Amino acid sequence: MKRTKAFFIKLAMTFGVLLLVLGLFFGVSLADILIITFVLTIVAFVGDLFILPRIGGASAAGADLVLAFLVIWALGAFLFDPDISVFSAALLSSLFIAGGEFYYHKYLVDHLFENETEHVVRTPKDNLITQAEFSEDFDKGTDNYKEKQQDDANMS
């Protein structure tokens, strides 16, 4: 149920942005907007389910920007009238979609991925901390080292 709700939120956001940008600024027909909306939403939603938990929200929004541009540009080349600048329409639409995706990804993390333990965003900082090795050499000369040495001596 959560995934269905998230899908329809993405569908509504994508349709709203494309209706405003493509319909208002470029005069694209409603049928063409609906086709692009459904294709883009399905592809991007599947990508969000697999990519977002692994790379984080900002990076996934960047990936959605590129994906939206490519999908709108490719479909627009076939669907739009020849007098419409497909590049400009795809670029402007993808920028607005990426802005909405940033907030949509926050929603997904808070509501869809909240209880799923396998969806952990790993950053390079996390990897370095888990791979670091520590030695007692750094503790020499500190009070903790001296107490440990006394405890070790008392135990033997």
- Express each pLDDT in 116-151 by its tens digit: 544 445 555 555 555 555 555 555 556 666 676 777
pLDDT of residue 134: 54
**Is residue 153 in some structural domain?**
no
Domain presence at residue 154: no
Q: How far is CA 139 from the centre of its chain?
A: 42
**Is 84 a domain residue?**
yes
- Claim: this prediction has a pTM higher than 0.75: no
Q: Identify the pLDDT of residue 119.
A: 44
In percent, how much of the chain has pLDDT > 70? 76
**Amino acid at position 153, single letter:** A
- The domain tally of the chain equals 1
Q: What is the pLDDT of residue 8?
A: 95
With respect to residue 89, please indicate whether it lies within any of the assigned structural domains: yes
Is 138 part of any domain?
Answer: no
| pLDDT confidence tier of residue 82, bands split at 50, 70 and 90 | confident
pLDDT given at position 117: 40
The answer to whether position 145 is within a domain reads no
**12 CB-near residues (< 8 Å, 6+ apart):** none
Q: Which domain holds residue 94?
A: 2-130
Q: Evaluate whether residue 155 is within a structural domain.
A: no
